[in-house]
Copies of this chain bind each other. A is one copy, B any other.
Amino acid sequence: MPWRDDTGPPWWHGKFRGCGYRLTVSRQAILDVLSKITEHPSAEEIYLEVHKVYPAIGLTTVYRTLELLVQAGLIFKFDFGDGRARYELSEGPKSIGHHHHLVCIGCGRIIDYTDFIDEEIELLRKTKKGLSKKYNFKITNHLIQFHGLCGKCQ
């Protein structure tokens, strides 16, 4: 189990309370992998990592758990165009916080990007306001991706 004697219960522990979700070994193991990794792993990559510690946990459970965590808002699911979904912790001590992604169309590299969030916040604020008025649309989330060529691929 992903407990640390020196840190107390993992930060996500409370997230399961009140949602009716059971705190199982699989779910903790998967969250533990996601909280330690800095990349954007696919379901299978997460499965392989989890498998090192808990060989009994199956790929099906990984898929189910990831879906659950997305619904619970604990993780984000992305499509970077490589034919498989990729996942990332949405918040927590280890996460880099609100950010977006640069996707290299040459090599597929993903770069986390946090700059110019101020202008983004402003754009988002106006957009939210405008959309709720014009379309009666309630924004809950937004996705920004930049596609192009990384230094090595230019």
Contact = CB atoms under 8 A, between A and B. Distances in A.
Interface in A100-149: 102, 104-105, 111, 113, 115-116, 119-120, 122-123, 126-127, 130-131, 134-149
How many chain copies does the complex carry? Answer: 2
Contacts of A113: 131, 135
B115 A137 contact: no
Contact of A141 (B111, B127, B140, B147): B147
B105 A116 contact: no
A116 B123 contact: yes
A20 interface: no
A126 B105 CA distance: 21
Contact of A146 (B79, B119, B141, B151): B141
Nearest to A111: B135
B144 A148 contact: no
28 contacts: A79-B81, A102-B135, A104-B137, A105-B140, A111-B135, A113-B131, A113-B135, A115-B127, A116-B126, A116-B127, A119-B123, A119-B126, A123-B123, A135-B151, A136-B154, A137-B146, A138-B149, A139-B146, A139-B147, A140-B147, A140-B148, A140-B149, A141-B148, A142-B145, A142-B146, A143-B143, A143-B144, A144-B144
Given A115-B130, A142-B147, 13 more contacts: A102-B131, A116-B123, A116-B127, A119-B119, A119-B122, A119-B126, A131-B146, A135-B151, A138-B154, A141-B146, A141-B148, A143-B143, A143-B144
